Amino acid sequence: MELVAEKYKLTEVGKIPSVWEVKSLNDISKITRLAGYEYSSMWQEDEKGEIIALRGFNIGQNKIIEKDFVRISNKLSLKLSRSRLFKRNVIYPCVGTIGNAAVIEEDDKYHIQQNIAKISPDEEKIDAYYLAHYLMSSFGLNEIFKFNGTSSQPNILVGSLRQYSIVVPPLKEQTAIATALSDADNYINSLEKLIAKKQLIKQGAMQKLLTPKADWVVKKLGEVADLKNGFAFKSINYDGKGEFLIITIANVQGGYMDTNECNRIVSLPKQIQSHQKLVKEDLLISMTGNVGRVCKVNIENALLNQRVGKIIPLNIDSDFLFHLLNSKSFLEEMILSAQGGAQGNISKNDILGFETSIPKDKTEQTRIATILSDMDADIAATEKQLAKARSIKQGMMQQLLTGKIRLI
């Protein structure tokens, strides 16, 4: 890498090296987007079909997401030749969650469905992988906002897509940039796969370790724990600069607390009770909406909102209880118990009435909890690596796609 500190020029997308250019996507590629009428008369899915017909959610960040694939016959794909995909085509969703892109790496395997753009780069002008990375960068997102600033659901028309401004370095440099970013993607993907593998191993361990043994005893949750309700905070008192975070059902996720979005208040209400002032390691459960989710408190100055329950262990290892309540059987029973209209609700009695088997010996409870907690810690450490890798890649994109760092 060579750090370049001069010979820049100002363009509509910002400062770039003087030898780089800005071109419209239409100038460097051919773009096809399929409309519904092209399918209505002949479209027919075939579970034994040779060709995978991709939908928007199958397009990830520089990868194909192998989920709920639809197939069609090769014969039909050939008839719908405009939407058949070939090696080095770039695919780009045009409706909904716009911003992902992927490069097709083999011929005669994929086909696009509606609302996806097929971009065929002019290989003498633009590297397909460079283009995919550019479309997913902050510069690509700016192009979306340019044409969709007021839309509740982004919908990029072909005419707009053709006008996208693309920063175009010399072809050799494009390839070097794409290679560096693809290497970062490969590392990120390897961490994602490792996390998925570790999570599967943990699920298997939970099933094995929490399966009742001969010396276990059947208990209702209310025999070994209590449950306290949250406080009815008033939105009029919310203050974004407040010291205290209000924990709602949205913050209680399956096995972890998400505090990215929390309402705050400046001072404690006079009527608040001691159990509604949370401390780290408190166990919480969602009682409305996605009922039955359990997490541990992981922050200071947190307050318990209504419809979030605080589970207080009495005669049971707290960590063992946490893992037990994150089991599939507990979640399924809470979902079955949910009452109400559009949003399900579970009561204190539903929760404390849950019946399960636990080790009679508290030492055995602690042993099981320690094994599962160690596995959680290992997964969390890998997730931290993943977050760091993603952050590094974002920094790389900003440096490489503006020419602040040149790969020449």
Can you give the residue ranges of every domain in the chain?
A: 2-169, 216-360
Burial of 143 (0-12, 13-18, 19+ CB in 10 A): buried
Packing angle of the helix pair 171-209, 128-136 (nearest 10 deg): 60
pTM: 0.86
Give the closest residue to 344 by CA, choosing from 295, 284, 293. 293
Report the CATH superfamily, name and number, of domain 2-169.
DNA methylase specificity domains (3.90.220.20)
Return all residues near 196 (Cβ < 8 A) that are at least 6 apart: none
β-pairing verdict for 116-121 and 29-33: antiparallel
Structure confidence at residue 35 (pLDDT): 52
Distance CA 379, CA 384 (A): 9
> What's the pLDDT tens digit per position in 232-243?
999 999 999 999
- Taking a C-beta distance cutoff of 8 angstroms, is the pair 78, 50 a contact? no
Structure confidence at residue 4 (pLDDT): 46
Report the SS3 class of residue 19.
coil
Using 50 as the pLDDT threshold, list the residues of the chain that sit under it.
Answer: 1-5, 37
Q: Across the beta sheet with 70-72, what order do the strands follow?
A: 70-72, 51-54, 110-112
> What's the pLDDT tens digit per position in 156-179?
888 899 999 999 999 999 999 999
- Please check whether the domain covering 216-360 is classified as CATH 3.90.79.10: no
